[in-house]
Amino acid sequence: MAYKHDYDKILTRLTVILSKLNDGEALSVKELAKEFNTSDRTIQRDFNERLVSFPIYQENKKWKMQDGFRVEKTKSLEDELVLDIIEKITEGIGGKFSTKAQKLLSKIKNEDFNPIYTKLNIEDISDKFSDIQILESALREKRVITCTYDNETHPPYSTTIKPLKIVNFEGFWYLVALREETLKKYYLKNISNPKMTEESFTTDSKLESLLDNSISIWFQKDVKPFEIKLYADKYATKYFKRRPLPTQKIDSLNSDETMEFNVYVTHEMEILPLVKYWIPHLFILEPQWVKEMIEEDTQNYLSLSKEGTL
């Protein structure tokens, strides 16, 4: 969950991009990044994640709208697109949040038809509204907070932290914060009794870059990223070409429709769950120690499965 001005910038950028595509323009990531004064990776994420529901495709490093699928122009194309996107995102969150959002949207939308469909498996945090409001105020004002945290393995404890960002990874909500200058990620639903103090703090711009380049909540601060080399068969190649990982760089595209590519991570757990998910279509080539971790976990699974303990 971002600040209001973050949402404004994102929605403005997305609607301008969609309007350009709807007009038949072929869009370059680099040119858009320059136009909106943001990074290439942010624009690439717009296409691969935020606009994934639209009939767009990439050809010769240019993004285009598929012929015959352009959005019908109306006097309020931009507003309609914004509302359609918001509607589908709130549906994915579900619960009280979705219900309230749908009621609000019904007051300002002119029709019930929505050409956009999304399937977002995002946990419902509507029961945390009051806590989130306090956290957002602390984030906006850059104020230190006190709160109680239950990590589910030890008794709840009180802590004092500097909140940096509310983020969502793989459908789960977290608060990224500093505790004694150490970067921490707190599962949002386990935070209770947040209270804003009078103490303020400052931050730098490195967090945005850190989040942009992260694959999962396992990202680390002040850790030099290391390279992971991977091989994808033709089934996995299609996916990773359509939706590249942050920092992904293709090393070779092979004649059999397979590919080798590299990514940079700050913790092995950023990549291990993903590779396991894609077994047997994705392989780690280097480094050897990460490859061995996958092999060990796989062997342990097979051994337990044969013993009937699973």
Q: What is the pLDDT along the chain (310 residues), one digit of tens a residue?
A: 443 344 457 777 888 888 888 888 899 999 999 988 888 888 988 888 778 767 788 888 899 888 766 554 444 555 665 666 666 566 655 555 555 665 555 555 555 555 555 556 778 777 787 888 899 889 989 999 999 999 878 889 999 999 998 888 888 899 999 998 889 999 999 999 999 999 999 887 777 788 888 888 898 888 899 999 999 999 999 999 988 998 999 999 999 999 999 999 999 999 999 999 999 999 999 999 999 999 999 999 888 888 766 5
Number of domains in the chain: 3
Assess whether 97 and 134 both reside in one domain: no
Residue 269 lies in a domain: yes
Q: What is the pLDDT of residue 77?
A: 54
3-state secondary structure 230-249: EEECHHHHHHHHHCCCCCCE
CATH number at residue 294: 3.30.70
Encode pLDDT of 67-105 as tens digits. Answer: 766 554 444 555 665 666 666 566 655 555 555 665 555
The pLDDT assigned to 79 comes to 62
Residues with Cβ within 8 Å of 308's Cβ and at least 6 positions away in sequence, in order, are none
**First and final C-alpha spacing in the chain:** 38
Residues 192 and 158 both lie in one domain: yes
Distance between CA atoms of 197 and 222, rounded to whole angstroms? 27
Cα 38 to Cα 78, 208, 238, distances in angstroms = 21, 11, 27
Q: How far apart are CA 38 and CA 256, in angstroms?
A: 36
- pLDDT score, position 110: 52
Average pLDDT over the chain, rounded to whole? 82
Are residue 102 and residue 140 in the same domain, yes or no? no
Query: Is residue 132 domain-shared with residue 100, that is, in the same domain?
Result: no
- The contacts of residue 79 (CB under 8 Å, 6+ apart) are none
Residues in the chain, overall count: 310
Q: Please answer whether residues 123 and 152 qualify as being in contact, where contact means their C-beta atoms are separated by less than 8 angstroms.
A: no
pLDDT at 306: 80
27 and 74 part of one domain: yes
**Do 131 and 65 share a structural domain?**
no
Query: Do 28 and 104 fall within a single domain?
Result: yes
Is 221 within a domain? no
Indicate if 202 and 244 belong to the same structural domain: no
Within a domain: 132? yes
Q: Is there a contact between 163 and 139 (Cβ–Cβ < 8 Å)?
A: yes
Whether 148 and 240 map to the same domain: the answer is no
Residue with tokens 């038809």: 113
Q: Which residue has the tokens 């599962």?
A: 187
| H and E: helices and strands count for the chain | 10, 12
Q: Where are the alpha helices (DSSP H) in the chain?
A: 4-22, 29-36, 40-45, 77-93, 95-108, 129-141, 206-212, 234-242, 272-278, 288-307
Contact 156, 149 (CB under 8 A): yes
In a domain, 217, yes or no: no
Output the pLDDT for position 257. Answer: 92
Q: Is pTM beyond 0.75 here?
A: no
In a domain, 118, yes or no: no
Same domain, 237 and 186: no
Are 95 and 132 within one domain? no
Please state whether beta strands 226-232 and 27-28 pair in parallel, antiparallel, or not at all (unpaired).
Answer: unpaired
16 domain-assigned: yes
161 lies in which domain range? 126-212
Distances (CA, A) of 255 to 244, 261, 301: 20, 15, 34
Burial of 23 (0-12, 13-18, 19+ CB in 10 A): exposed
Of 61, 81, 108, which marks where a domain is finished? 108
Instruction: Specify if 272 maps to a domain.
Output: yes
What is the CATH classification number for the domain harbouring 52? Answer: 1.10.10.10
79 vs 171: CA distance, rounded Å = 26
Are both 248 and 295 inside the same structural domain? yes
What is the identity of the amino acid at 126?
S
pLDDT of residue 186: 94
Q: Which of 39, 34, 32 is nearest to 16 (CA)?
A: 32
Q: What's 131's domain CATH number?
A: 2.30.30.520
Please say which residue of 108, 134, 152 terminates a domain: 108
Cα–Cα separations (whole angstroms), residue 55 to 44, 67, 183:
16, 9, 39
Whether 286 maps to a domain, the answer reads: yes
Of the residues 212, 234, 255, which one is the last residue of a structural domain? 212
Given this model, what pLDDT does residue 5 score? 42
